[in-house]
Structure 1
Amino acid sequence: MTLDPRGPRFSAALTTVVFVIVLLTGSGWLALVQAVIFAVGAYDPRLTPYGLLYRYLVAPRLAPPVEREDGAPVRFAQAVGLLFTVVTVAGYLSGVTVLGVVGASFALVAAFLNSAFGLCLGCEAYLLIKRLRPAQ
């Protein structure tokens, strides 16, 4: 699967907004919704609500992408986002607010870096792990 690289950046922008709201409100339930979105994205980023919005509302208004990117690093990044978001949900819903704030803050930074600068930390981690693994 290959992706238009602008799609994950669009999704990251929406995710940034969600995590700002989570941090401002302390809503573990909103974080839970984001966790479900990450879970879907770990399977196929094109199937998330954000991916569908991009595909059907945003992409038709843009020029075709100059290049496409492999979907595997993006799926891995979505799984990493899911991990941080599960920590966020557990923190907020269990009353350990500091855990929720820390998880949401890490997720917010990662989403912001991707949306603003195109730096996908999860994608970079995927590529580093792939390079460090012994040849099979």
Structure 2
Amino acid sequence: MSTTSRPSVLFVCVHNAGRSQMAAAYLAHLGGGAVEVRSAGSAPADQVNPAAVAAMAEEGIDLSAEVPKVLTTQAVQDSDVVVTMGCGDACPYFPGKRYEDWVLDDPAGQGIDAVRPIRDEIRGRVETLLRELGVRPVTQGP
């Protein structure tokens, strides 16, 4: 059980190198610190997808220092909302948690032109999630 009054969200995909990294970065950025953010992968990659890093840089969000993290049971237990993105049955299930499965194209092996629409869809879903959590999204600068 979380000791903070902030809601916590865990984004999970297989490699924790693209979709879940972009979603976590958007939630941290747009949530303005009002939400505790985690991301992990069931089989983490060696590095974050360079096209995802480049696509997020266009939004003014720096992912270059992020590294894929392994999914742990503790991370799921510590989160109020678990958003899965194509990790299938690898995600542990705990009663009482809110689970969402976001069906998104996988940016792995894609160029930035293919990653931009995925990024934009993730942003929209993160904004919706923030509203559902009762957090007003922080508006980005010019």
TM over 0.5: no
Name the structure where helix makes up a greater proportion of residues. 1
Q: Under TM normalisation by the shorter chain, which class is it?
A: 0.3 to 0.5
Larger Rg: 1
In the superposition, the TM-score normalised over structure 2's length comes to 0.32
